[in-house]
Amino acid sequence: VEILSRHPLRAARLFSIRNRARSLARDAHRGNRLISMDAFRHIYWSYLLTKKYGDGFATAVTDSHEEGRTGNSPAEKAMDLQNNAVGRKYARLGYDVKDLPSIATGDREVVPDVDAARARQRNGQ
């Protein structure tokens, strides 16, 4: 809410980007059931925000989304934050959005599910 109050003209576009990320993640999952819709939703969302508004704004939006009463466990929060960071990295590297499923499925930085997030936490990553 605070970010939207500081950037009210971006509000509609932020919701549009969120919806596009959901759609892209759903389509990627339909094309390959090994692709986690949740992980890819975060990757796409951060990627699209970074492409549109830059790394700093994308980080502020996605990090603030993980704060407060989200209902997420610490492992889920860590998973979401990590996948958001991956999406921003892909945008900075200039990857094309259509290539993200093939790139991300082989990327060890992507956390596909909460079990992987818990394992990473146990290993100090």
Q: Are 66 and 81 in contact (CB under 8 A)?
A: yes
Q: Report yes or no on whether pTM surpasses 0.75.
A: yes
Average pLDDT of the chain? Answer: 89
Q: Which is more confident, 7 or 60?
A: 60
